[in-house]
Chain A
Amino acid sequence: MEKPIMSSGPHIHSHASSRRIMLDVIIALLPAAIAGVVLFGLPALWLIVTCVAAAVISEYLFNLIAKRKQSVGDLSAVVTGLLLALNLSTAVPLWQAALGSVFAIVLVKCAFGGIGHNIANPAIAARVFLLLSFGSLTAGFPAPRGVDAFSGATPLALLAEGNTGELPSLLQMFLGQRGGAIGETCILALLIGFAYLLIRKVISWQTPVIFMGTVFVLSLVFGGFTVAVYELLAGGLVLGAVFMATDYSTTPITARARMLFALGCGLITFVIRWFFTLPEGVSYSILCMNLMVPWLERWTRRKPLGGV
């Protein structure tokens, strides 16, 4: 008879696993990905395939070369690639998109020690990298198929110009019939993903709601109701608030600090959109707040029960 195992407790475990969590995020992103392909056609599909493949292959090769334990099985590289693709428009050449994935995985994630160790959100850092390197994103967002009226300018650009007459209707905004990155336009699809993440308890509602709520309330105060609604639905706010401001690695570990994080994201997004020349601020706001994480955690520290 084999000897019984000696170990410390607990002797049972929940069914949670890192891989399952990543799979849940992928499932939650699928509605937005499908909507992107429906709205922007096959180029959107190639964009997704390119980014995901480049992300997975670069993580695989990095681990191989750096002699690290292979980690592609945890599916986090798929999430990064998919998120990056959804943050790009079909105007971005595929080689640039692939380069973005490699940047995200190798420099932003693996170089910092891999999953759980990176400081900045890889997909956002890559998006900003592409934006600064090639200006790819602002070069003009192709309009969805079957929508001719407002190709070229995104609703945020129109809002910034004060050109409200050409704005798409709120229903069009909600369904995604407007220019933009392939995964950010269809609010309906993003909300389905949000609901799925909540049901699966992958994220809690506070971060997305506080982030979006802050932008909405500030826009309401400064611009009135209609502007506030457009601000909420336009740009990458919903995508960023639901999927990127909730990234585990790059956001605080405590619930209280996460709320502060979300508030900061909302504030910075609004300030950039409203007062700066840039039309969009979601990526920058999340990136800034990523760097604030250690302080947020320190400021919100609370006394443990029975401690000091």
Chain B
Amino acid sequence: MFKKSISSLKLPHLKGTAGLAPVRIPQPKEVLLPVSPMNSHSAVNAEPVVEVGQHVTVGQLIAKEKDRGSSNIHASVSGTVKAIEPYVAGGRKAIAIRIESDGKMEKCPDLKIPHPTNLDEFLACIRDSGAVGLGGAAYPVWAKLSAAQKSHISTVLINGAECEPYITCDHRVMLEHGDLIQKGIELMKQFMGSEEYIIGIEKNKPDAIEALTERFKDDPAVKILPLSSVYPQGAKQVLLYNATGKVVEKGQRMASLGVVIINVYSLVKMAEYFVTGMPMVERILTVEGSAVKEPKNLIAPIGVTVRELVEACGGLKEEPGKILFGGAMMGKTQESLDNVILKATNAVVIMNRKDTEKTAASPCIHCGRCVSVCPLGLNPTAFSRAMELPEGEEELRAAILQREQVKVCMECGCCSYVCPAHRPLAETNTAAIGWIRNWEKAHKEGGR
């Protein structure tokens, strides 16, 4: 039979910064380092291990992770710890460590280039480095790769799709850090013994495809896979299916298919640690949007404010309507220019007021565009109808949400994007997922 193809969207790419090599921003006067990933996956705080008034150096451990929900945090400037304080961003709360820079960027003397000899040591090193998934979820890299301890991982899928509008950070990484991609693959070969390495790249990055194809032309284990430039090509299930034809079924883990997916920049940062011994203290990110004077790719210490990034881009030309961490589809809105970037902040997009104007929602016309665009084959109108049911109909609502399997939804936003009635479908999906989780929890404890 015909191979089922996954629905997707053709979006405006808005990748005007693709040709701009990252430039380092001027040294910040201070940084603020939240000790939690601050996303929907986790709000666990790592434990601060420094005190107010203490002198710290670049790369020094300042907060120790507790489990998979957090990661080690290292000082991104040298200077003095000014405060350990509450911090709120994107509506989420965390503890953050404020460091005033002494302007010296003095490197931590204790840092050593790690030399692991087996898989366990390899994972322990990565764990020390605080490496997290830079594609958005900020899940610790060691935890993801630890699947190799339990079962053999035959395929490593390296995600260089970068399907979100505006973002070009991974594109630049693939152009400029091919050596580190190679190093990362060598490490995985050595310690995980995976046979196949597929680097999936959207075709709107032909230079990256060309450069990596050339670099790996003598390595039969590495395959460069050009992907069509559609959204959400980089989503876990979508990339897995398009690259391998496999699907993670309900209740299954990806590792049980013998596959792990790692973002290309996560791989590079992981490899970098084994070359320099420097943990994740800075990153490349794209600063874009209609309110930004000169959009750029920047290299910035973790914990600098959006304001400083904007200044490095010539300032704002208009009042910001929305400040996003991430791209135009799944980016998270931020309250202020004083919010600071995290390890997983791959882009800061600042839209002007005009770009954020919203058309009021009108009744659903039952056109089916949301259904036909859904990459996973869900029916967003059913979720909306269920959520609109009046009080007293909770049983029915739960039954519909379970039958239509709202929990499969990855909140990619395609449904909202295409809806001609401008209904906030993705937002409703998120609410529905939260609602059904609570309902199931309450009903599990209550009876059965």
Contacts and interface: CB of A to CB of B under 8 A. Distances in A.
A115 interface: yes
Interface stretch (A2-10, A143-151, A154-162): A2-10
B175 interface: no
Given A6-B335, A306-B237, A18 B421 contact: yes
Contacts of B331: 9, 11
B371 A74 contact: no
Interface string B260-288: 00000000000000000000000000000
A133 interface: no
B155 interface: no
B333 A7 contact: yes
B335 A14 contact: no
A246 to B, nearest CB: 10
A305 B420 contact: no
A117 B320 CA distance: 39
Interface stretch (B24-32, B109-117, B146-154, B377-385): B377-385
B390 interface: no
A308 B417 contact: no
A277 interface: no
Given A13-B359, A17-B420, A116 B365 contact: yes
Contacts of B323: 4
B322 A304 contact: no
Contact of A305 (B319, B376, B381): B376
Interface string B314-353: 0000011111100011111111100000000000010101
A12 interface: yes
B299 interface: no
A76 B363 CA distance: 12
Contacts of B424: 8
Contact of B247 (A1, A114, A302, A306): A306
B422 interface: yes
B448 interface: no
B426 interface: yes
Contacts of A3: 335-336
20 contacts: A3-B336, A4-B320, A6-B91, A6-B333, A7-B333, A11-B324, A12-B12, A12-B328, A12-B355, A18-B365, A18-B421, A248-B367, A248-B368, A254-B371, A254-B372, A304-B376, A305-B375, A306-B248, A306-B249, A307-B408
Interface of A: 1-14, 16-18, 20-21, 71, 74, 76, 114-117, 248-249, 252-255, 258, 302-308
